[in-house]
Amino acid sequence: MSELVGNLLVAQSGGPTAVINASVVGVLQEAGKHGCIQEIYGGLNGILGILNEELIDVNEEKAKTIEDLRHTPAAALGTCRYKIDFKKKPEQAARDMDRLFDVFQAHNIRYFFYVGGNDSQDTSHKIHLEALKRGWEMRVIGVPKTIDNDLPHTDSCPGYGSVIKYNAATVMEIGCDVGSMATDDGSCCIVEVMGRAAGWIAAGTVLAKRSPADAPHIILLPELPFNEAKFLAKVQETVEAFRYCVVVVGEGLKDERGEEIGADKSSVDAFGHPLLSGAAEALAKVVQTKLELKTRTVKLGYAQRAAAHFASATDANNAYACGVAAVKAAVAGQSGFMVKIVREHNADGSIRWTTGLQPLEDIANVEHFLPREWISEDGFMPNEKFVEYARPLIEGQVAVPVEGGLPKYASFEKARVAKKLPARGSALAAA
Amino acid sequence: MSELVGNLLVAQSGGPTAVINASVVGVLQEAGKHGCIQEIYGGLNGILGILNEELIDVNEEKAKTIEDLRHTPAAALGTCRYKIDFKKKPEQAARDMDRLFDVFQAHNIRYFFYVGGNDSQDTSHKIHLEALKRGWEMRVIGVPKTIDNDLPHTDSCPGYGSVIKYNAATVMEIGCDVGSMATDDGSCCIVEVMGRAAGWIAAGTVLAKRSPADAPHIILLPELPFNEAKFLAKVQETVEAFRYCVVVVGEGLKDERGEEIGADKSSVDAFGHPLLSGAAEALAKVVQTKLELKTRTVKLGYAQRAAAHFASATDANNAYACGVAAVKAAVAGQSGFMVKIVREHNADGSIRWTTGLQPLEDIANVEHFLPREWISEDGFMPNEKFVEYARPLIEGQVAVPVEGGLPKYASFEKARVAKKLPARGSALAAA
């Protein structure tokens, strides 16, 4: 494989995580070691910024900033949910693809790394195929990222270990709180966590549980249809046993007809879509009215995926390793792969984390759900198989520097790379 | 003052905090140093447990457990919201008071410490007066506790520094997240925090803000009536300037008629009370429908007051010092006071935290609100005076031991003290 000399472009996509920047730092720090990589650029707001030729020159950033981004949550380069959609918008997609390659060629991009979840891996795959078709030699490697943990073929997804570490600690603390307030009449607390389709995040809170009396007492997973009668019976049984009940629910919990229980059909937005007031609120109303039990809700929302103040060191290290591995693979001549996390066991049973490569075509648009055999028979709790899988992902804590009692996070100065192309024009307006 | 020999009873009341146990540990560890204090008892679930003669023998607990409770959230002795209410239920209150003194006398309680907020200080005051009236020599000292920070005469309330440290870090992290996702169409996130009447908790999140572009952009305080038009204009202005807007709202925000905006009049509980779906949800509906701006909510709920994994060391140390000071004052012959936190300045401007005593009659049922002159003219942000007050309260972080990637919290074994009285009987049933 001949050495490919040129510039590097890295961008981030989809919902941010506590460790997505660690992957970018892995890319940047490894890229600095390879002479074949000349300029190092960051694309702002994912594909959307690249389409607009909004690139920053990472070599203008302080080394200290880059080091500090390893523990900074959210997407330092900005992110987007923009998708190149050949199915629904084929003409727009074709124009976008032309424009992307105009940008790649104008800036001699020969290494492209896209850090994201399912959609982003799909985008990377399409760009890889397009580069081959156009004969533009460019190495494309996807870097995994998603708190949802729903990418296939990788042991786990960077971002997942941190979200469940924070959520499990939070559920443990809420359990202490509600348990200590539970007098004879009992009480219930319902904690809503992210996860529209897959229950990995909700399941992860089981790590807070060390005895049957501990919170969480019930975990409702979006994979299993919600049965109100069985749920109420389980709440009642729990309150009778422990005087309180902490329920964790994945936001995308659905009823037996497949409708999200958090959809509030009484209010719609300007476009007529029902507003989601949330699964926890909906469940709380059921518990309060049918069991006459004092019930409070917690909705962690964006707080959970940004909680770098309590991020998992294992997760952050794996995220960083994925960025490093992506550059190494590309420099070695690979293209069209996603880096995956591999769990191996040493002779003493301890875990050795490594990385591997998986063809992007195996990843794109495949969702990986929680296996049914990792969930208790009654459906209300992940079992020991899940715990064995998940516990190593939350080991260790990222040390975050502090200033004035609060975490000290970094941000890029964002020195823009001079544009070389005409403005995106009509394509921009249509986006 | 002659030495008073006898037993000690400590109990906790009201909503738990991240550091209420630190105050109890201060009481217990200081009590062990004084020969005049014989047995050391804990009352379970505050006044309610004492009425039921549910006492535990703290000398049966391991010293390690007690040390570990210094960083354990929630009320290790259990708590209650039960109130001895001479106004609304005079007969029940008189029976309760008789019963309390039966318990005190049966167990030779000569030192009584009650850790709690406004209501609990009121209870302590009544017990102190009653002891004088009955000629039962007993030293009664209130120990302050409340995340709401609404007790008068004390610099601040133990629990407050920790809740605002965690909330400010969370708002900072949410700001990173939402800011990094904000593409041209903008987005809004509304974070609901506790605080029914006073805005101290919501105000505390201003500490996350280091520049005008930083979150939070708007803080809505329950002290100031909500004006929808001005609020929407401010959101619009913020999104135009920064492409995103993070709003923090105290749960008790009221409209101009004094009604809580979080009350959902469309649903009622079994007793006909409107269910609160929350201020953040109500505001999100307004922003989504009137500004057509993507809006998400976060409701931290109990998570915020139990977040010992990111508690303030200043707060925890002050909480502990209040417990110590309570015992010292009582042994020195004082009764009928609440310990207060005092802020003094060293010659170099640094802060020296000490404690003082304030008569309980000055505390009971007085609520301390955020001064209007600590809030910006437009009412949407606390100003520099507040920041100067609040920032020292979040300094330092409590070191929490970790096990399996999660905080390791302690709990009492709760060896019961043998009961000496007949069951509370009819009084119990009526409670």
Q: What tens digit of pLDDT does each residue of A11-22 get?
A: 999 999 999 999
Determine how β-strand B337-345 pairs with β-strand B351-359. antiparallel
Percentage of residues in chain B with pLDDT exceeding 70?
Answer: 94
Model confidence at B54: pLDDT above 60: yes
Q: What tens digit of pLDDT does each residue of A375-416 get?
A: 999 999 999 999 999 999 999 999 999 999 999 999 999 999
pLDDT, position A366: 85
Task: Choose the mutation target among B72, B302, B414, B428 for the interface with A, i.e. most A CBs under 10 Å.
Answer: B302
Task: Choose the mutation target among A13, A192, A302 for the interface with B, i.e. most B CBs under 10 Å.
Answer: A302
- B268: pLDDT confidence band, cut at 50, 70 and 90? low
Domain ranges of chain A: 6-158+308-365+396-430, 161-305
Taking the Cβ of residue B266 and every Cβ of chain A, the question of whether any pair is shorter than 8 Å is answered with yes
Pairwise CA distance, residues B275 & A281, whole Å:
10
pLDDT, position B110: 98
Model confidence at B276: pLDDT above 70: no
pLDDT, position B1: 57
Report A:129-188 residues touching B (Cβ under 8 A). 165, 168-170, 172-174, 176-183
Question: Does the beta-carbon distance from B173 to A309 stay under 8 Å?
Answer: yes
Taking the Cβ of residue A67 and every Cβ of chain B, the question of whether any pair is shorter than 8 Å is answered with no
Residues of A in contact with B174 (CB under 8 A): 301-303, 306
Pairwise CA distance, residues A362 & A358, whole Å:
7
Taking the Cβ of residue A253 and every Cβ of chain B, the question of whether any pair is shorter than 8 Å is answered with no
Residues of B in contact with A281 (CB under 8 A): 277-278, 281
Pairwise CA distance, residues A28 & A12, whole Å:
13
Q: What tens digit of pLDDT does each residue of A134-145 get?
A: 999 999 999 999
CATH of B161-305, one of 3.40.50.460, 3.40.50.11540, 3.40.50.300, 3.40.50.720: 3.40.50.460
Q: Do domains B6-158+310-365+392-430 and B161-305 have the same CATH topology?
A: yes
pLDDT, position B429: 45
When pLDDT is averaged across residues B41-53 and rounded to a whole number, the result is: 97
Question: Does the beta-carbon distance from A178 to B302 stay under 8 Å?
Answer: yes
Full-model pTM? 0.96
Model confidence at A45: pLDDT above 60: yes
Question: Does the beta-carbon distance from B299 to A297 stay under 8 Å?
Answer: yes
Taking the Cβ of residue B82 and every Cβ of chain A, the question of whether any pair is shorter than 8 Å is answered with yes
Chain B residue with Cα closest to A286: B269
Of B173, B285, B406, which has the smallest distance from its Cβ to A168's Cβ?
Answer: B406
pLDDT, position B421: 97
When pLDDT is averaged across residues A97-102 and rounded to a whole number, the result is: 98
What is the 3-state composition of chain A as percent helix, strand, coil, each rounded to the nearest 5?
A: 40, 20, 40
Residues of B belonging to the active site: 148
When pLDDT is averaged across residues A158-179 and rounded to a whole number, the result is: 98
Q: What CATH architecture is A6-158+308-365+396-430?
A: 3-Layer(aba) Sandwich (3.40)
Pairwise CA distance, residues A413 & A428, whole Å:
25
Q: What CATH architecture is B6-158+310-365+392-430?
A: 3-Layer(aba) Sandwich (3.40)
Model confidence at B217: pLDDT above 60: yes
User: What is the biggest distance separating any 2 CA atoms in chain B, rounded to whole angstroms?
Assistant: 75
- Nearest-Cα distance to chain A for B356, in Å, is 26
- Supply the DSSP string of B156-208, one letter for each residue: S-TTHHHHHHHHHHHHHHHHHHHHHH--TT-EEEEEEE--SS--HHHHHGGGG
Of A296, A302, A310, which has the smallest distance from its Cβ to B309's Cβ?
Answer: A310
Pairwise CA distance, residues A72 & A396, whole Å:
16
Q: Is A129 left (phi over 0), alpha (psi -120 to 50) or beta?
A: alpha
Model confidence at B185: pLDDT above 90: no
Q: What tens digit of pLDDT does each residue of A56-92 get?
A: 999 999 999 999 999 999 999 999 988 898 899 999 9
Model confidence at A427: pLDDT above 50: no
Model confidence at A2: pLDDT above 80: no
**3-class DSSP state for residue A302?**
helix
Taking the Cβ of residue B307 and every Cβ of chain A, the question of whether any pair is shorter than 8 Å is answered with yes
Chain B residue with Cα closest to A300: B298
When pLDDT is averaged across residues A156-165 and rounded to a whole number, the result is: 98
Taking the Cβ of residue A48 and every Cβ of chain B, the question of whether any pair is shorter than 8 Å is answered with yes
Model confidence at B182: pLDDT above 90: no
Model confidence at A1: pLDDT above 60: no
Model confidence at B430: pLDDT above 80: no
Residues of A in contact with B77 (CB under 8 A): 180
- A276: pLDDT confidence band, cut at 50, 70 and 90? low
Question: Does the beta-carbon distance from A302 to B308 stay under 8 Å?
Answer: no
Please name the amino acid found at residue B121. Answer: Q
The string over B258-294, giving b where at least 16 C-beta atoms fall within 10 Å of a residue's C-beta and e elsewhere, is eebbbbbeebebeeeeebbbbbbbbbbbbbbeebebb
Higher pLDDT, A271 or B29: B29
When pLDDT is averaged across residues A34-44 and rounded to a whole number, the result is: 98
pLDDT, position B81: 85
- Supply the DSSP string of B194-237, one letter for each residue: --SS--HHHHHGGGG-SSTTSSPSEEE-TTS---HHHHHHHHHH
Taking the Cβ of residue A13 and every Cβ of chain B, the question of whether any pair is shorter than 8 Å is answered with no
pLDDT, position A285: 92
Residue B201 dihedral angles phi and psi, to the nearest 5° = -70, -50
Model confidence at B266: pLDDT above 70: no
Q: What angle do CA B423, B424, B429 make, to 5 degrees?
A: 120
Percentage of residues in chain A with pLDDT exceeding 90?
Answer: 90
Chain B residue with Cα closest to A411: B176
Pairwise CA distance, residues B187 & B243, whole Å:
7
pLDDT, position B299: 97
Q: What tens digit of pLDDT does each residue of A241-257 get?
A: 999 999 999 999 999 99
Q: What average pLDDT does the structure give for chain A?
A: 94
When pLDDT is averaged across residues A209-223 and rounded to a whole number, the result is: 96
Chain A residue with Cα closest to B267: A285
